[in-house]
Structure 1
Amino acid sequence: MSKENMPDVLVLGAGPAGMAIASALGKEKLDVEVLSPNGPDEPWPNTYGIWGKEVDQLGLQDLLEYRWKNTVSFFGHGALEEQDDENKATEHSLDYGLFDKKKLHNYWFNECNKSFIKWHQGFANKIHFEKYKSTVTTKDGKIYSARLVVDATGYDPVFLKLKSCGPLAVQTCYGIVGNFSKPPLKKGQFVLMDYRNDHLNDEQKKEPPTFLYAMDMGDGKYFLEETSLGLVNPLTMENLKERLEKRLSYRNISITSMQHEELGLFLPMNMPIPDFKQQILGYGGAASMVHPASGYLIGNVLRRAPLVAKAVSEAIKNKNLSTYHIARKGWETLWSKELIRKKSLYQFGLEKLMRFDEKLLREFFGSFFQLPKNQWYGFLTDTLSLKEIVYAMCVMFIKAPWSVKKGLMIMHGREFKMLLRIIFPNI
């Protein structure tokens, strides 16, 4: 083994996932360095939502910019106003928050600095593996070596190899932050999903369904986002923008000023689990940690970082372990057999939802949110055990309308293999 002076871990990427795992590794007393195209003090472009209960358990509630108690969804036919029973809001009775991304960034940056993590700026271009180290070369020729490299470069990872799983399902959205001629939702309200569609014509109702994700940001400012849950052939930004404009026009609401326009978020919902037989570890979106059924990522990234860091630390302390075996110890913690089975179940659910038409989708979510709060919350946040998830889904199946039962039972394409992976996670 080489005796040269090199860090224990080189983390690629300085986003939330990169900083979270770097900080956790530093707390394990490992020598950690981070390589990223942007400097560590570069602001993050995205915003991150999280359920209040989840952020409280993480002890990070002070990092929220907004927190709503009035959280609802709509699964009826009508427009935004409540006019009859079908348009009555589904009350979630659970706080939802948005992180202040500057506070969140500064928190992790400071946590990393407490462990004396070193920062390097550059584009990782090549990687060379030896038995006891990995060496990364940047586009400008700089070289960095470490016992282990962690790829946290997002949904299109630089070096990490993913298993083949067929076409990816993508969540897309178009959103605006601005002021309006009249309030588009109630004061202090957060709308998780509004699937009502009276603003669409008959032809548009036959197209893949979309929902409104919306929040009152105070002082007359609102965030409205037209969202497509997940499609292999995603809807265009023009289509989503048109739907949002029609939604507002139906209520005689106009935009009086716009502070921000979200021109599109392309979030892969069913990324395959990475190939564990490689001499590199992944984390965050690069390691397929996004929740296939909800699109949530940040909670999982924050919860699992200490566990993965501990496993990596224990492996690195064994000087006889190769880099490959150190990475395997990390993978075994990041993606245990139970977590693989859970992901397969979530992917099965997403595959079903992508095939549901607008009416069936509304009926499904109407049934889903009739589950006890701890069950639907645990499903969306990936905090239930596999046994608890299966039990919750059985309860929902029994209580759901026959149309939903039929939709869940009919098998297409990859769904059978997803069910098999729940039993045989290594296939």
Structure 2
Amino acid sequence: MKLKNFADVLVMGAGPAALCIASELVQQGLKVEALASNSPEAPWPNTYGIWAEELESLGMESLLGYRWTDTLSYFGDGKDLVGLEPIKHNFDYGLFDSLSLQKALLEKCNGLLWRLETVEKIVFSQTETEVICHSGEKYSARIVIDAIGHKSPFIQRPNKGPVAQQAAYGIVGKFSSPPVGENQFVLMDFRPDHLSEKQLKEPPSFLYAMDFGENVFFVEETSLACAPPLSKNILEKRLYERLSHRGIEVKEILHEENCLFPMNLPLPYLDQPLLAFGGSASMVHPASGYMVGALLRRAPALAKSIAEAIDLNPSLSSLDLAKEGWKVLWTPELVQRHRLYQFGLKRLMSFDESLLRNFFVAFFKLPKKDWSAFLANTLPLPKLIVVMLRLFYMAPLKVRLGMIGL
């Protein structure tokens, strides 16, 4: 006997990952249930950046709230690199209009109701999966997808030691003078001239900044990856020291942003009966921290595979359905690419501040189509290997030695 809340698929979560996969499942004509402890209409607290071309390839560039053509990075210190001139990327970057993205995904959900519940337990059987909530309510589905995020307690994965996390502290505000140029976006400002000798020996961080117009700017001090992560207090202190060194005072804070998420979270076990999507499924790019582009690209194929599996074999067990989903979500090629990126991140985490700056100078000398696809995780495996080898041979000797751990 089926429970009254029985569905083809039950999605847990209400963030970008949950909305992406739920909307595609609805588009496949499946009966979908959705559970979350927060409303899917609640504003998302953080900003989401993406290279504009990546979004254009999906026909979704209208969802950008901001777009910059003048994009650049700073890696010099006037000593081991020539001058302090920026590297110009000549590649448009944008920030999602989070409300527009949220609204577009909710509209694709065709009125799907999110039940405000906190999941307590998940019980698997041969034919279905039952979700038991703190309220006492029970929900049942052919398959359940965990899109709660990387902190989900329900997804099983191997323990491979400390997990490196990207941490950032940022403010949207008004300043005594512009922290970046007019209509300008700075991907990475690694200039270390404001750091003490002691700070130069600590894990490095960089400035990520942009002009929002009307004398409003977003500045964020970011640690690419570190285990344990740099604290909010350290990043906030570094941000203010960086600004002060350039004679810039914060006049008004309109919004504060705190980010902390894993970069090298191990892949989940791909034979478990609970499927995942987004941070729960380790979909954060290990080399860049980006994920929203991957969510938008990979959700349609996953939803289609689940719909086809249910249609072809209505008696397929929850475990077998989950296995079909895992096979699409983490193909052998995607697994290998993920491992390569994680290996690269491990090497970068061993670099000191100077070596890291020199690495990025070499990285952005790659052809634009290569470095941009590297950051978006859209390079086929053979091409990714070629690009990584090319980077190795292009890099200065000391960077190459660092890449091989010498």
TM-score range, shorter chain: over 0.9
Partner of residue 55, structure 1: 55
CA contact (8 A) 1:32 1:118 kept: no
Identify the match of residue 303 of structure 2 among 309, 315, 325: 309
Q: Deviations over 1:276-307 (max 9, x none)?
A: 12111000000000000100000000100001
Which TM-score applies when normalising by structure 2?
A: 0.97
CA contact (8 A) 1:11 1:22 kept: yes
Partner of residue 248, structure 2: 253
CA distance in 1, matches of 2:219, 2:167: 14
Q: Does 2:358 match 1:363?
A: yes
Q: Does 2:387 match 1:392?
A: yes
Counterpart code for 1:169: A
Identify the match of residue 400 of structure 2 among 383, 401, 405: 405
Identify the match of residue 294 of structure 1 among 279, 282, 288: 288
CA distance in 2, matches of 1:256, 1:110: 39
Partner of residue 178, structure 2: 183
CA distance in 1, matches of 2:205, 2:27: 43
CA shift at 1:86, angstroms? 2.1
CA distance in 1, matches of 2:157, 2:86: 41
CA contact (8 A) 2:129 2:141 kept: yes
2:272 alignment partner, SS class: coil
CA shift at 1:85, angstroms? 4.5
Counterpart code for 1:15: G
CA distance in 2, matches of 1:171, 1:39: 26
Q: Does 2:124 match 1:129?
A: yes
CA distance in 2, matches of 1:14, 1:261: 22
CA shift at 1:4, angstroms? 7.5
Matches within 5 A, 1:111-150: 111-113=108-110, 116-150=111-145
Q: Deviations over 1:46-71 (max 9, x none)?
A: 22111100111111111111000001
Q: Which runs of 5+ in 1 are unaligned?
A: 412-427
Identify the match of residue 372 of structure 2 among 377, 380, 398: 377
Q: Does 2:76 match 1:87?
A: no
Q: Which runs of 5+ in 2 are unaligned?
A: none
CA contact (8 A) 2:46 2:259 kept: no
1:203 alignment partner, SS class: helix
CA distance in 1, matches of 2:269, 2:180: 45
Q: Percent identity?
A: 48
Partner of residue 20, structure 1: 20
The 3 A distance-change label for structure 1 pair 3 and 257 is closer
1:150 alignment partner, SS class: strand
Identify the match of residue 283 of structure 1 among 277, 280, 283: 277
Partner of residue 162, structure 2: 167
CA shift at 1:78, angstroms? 5.8
Identify the match of residue 187 of structure 2 among 183, 192, 195: 192
Partner of residue 101, structure 1: 98
CA distance in 2, matches of 1:141, 1:78: 64
CA contact (8 A) 1:78 1:198 kept: no
Partner of residue 418, structure 1: none
CA distance in 2, matches of 1:66, 1:117: 29
Q: Does 2:364 match 1:354?
A: no
Counterpart code for 1:371: L
Counterpart code for 2:272: Q
Q: Does 2:294 match 1:325?
A: no
CA distance in 2, matches of 1:43, 1:200: 36
Q: Deviations over 1:343-389 (max 9, x none)?
A: 00000011011100001100111000000001000100001011111
Partner of residue 42, structure 1: 42
The 3 A distance-change label for structure 1 pair 174 and 133 is same
CA distance in 1, matches of 2:391, 2:319: 43
The 3 A distance-change label for structure 1 pair 138 and 378 is same
CA contact (8 A) 1:151 1:282 kept: yes
Counterpart code for 1:288: S
Partner of residue 420, structure 1: none
Aligned residues: 404
2:234 alignment partner, SS class: helix
Q: Does 2:202 match 1:226?
A: no
CA distance in 2, matches of 1:221, 1:320: 57
Partner of residue 417, structure 1: none
